[in-house]
Structure 1
Amino acid sequence: MRFDLADLRLFVCAVNAGSIAAGARQAILALTSASERISNIGSDAGVVLLERSHRR
């Protein structure tokens, strides 16, 4: 299992910012791309990395 450094940076940005949307802005990525990248990291690792909700 190998992770891309940009994907790991995105994950850290999302965690620090408190949301995938804010993390995507910090990492200068589209929200859909960021969400898919984080989802792929979790799938590859076999764990749930973030609890997703629709709250603002």
Structure 2
Amino acid sequence: MADKTIVCKDCSKEFIFTEGEQAFYAEKGFENEPKRCPDCRRAKKNQSREF
């Protein structure tokens, strides 16, 4: 596996999906790559906790 560059669906910034992250996703059985950058993921997670 090699690092992948992905464009965030929320802010349109590019972020790197590292080999280590890819291995972690595979280990956990996740089939889809992340669609949001780490900052947007964190913001979305915090937003859902407010309700």
- TM-score by length of structure 2 reads 0.29
- Largest Rg, 1 or 2: 2
- TM-score by length of structure 1 reads 0.27
Q: Which is richer in strand?
A: 2
With a CA cutoff of 8 Å and minimum separation of 6, indicate the structure with the bigger relative contact order.
2
Q: Which is richer in helix?
A: 1
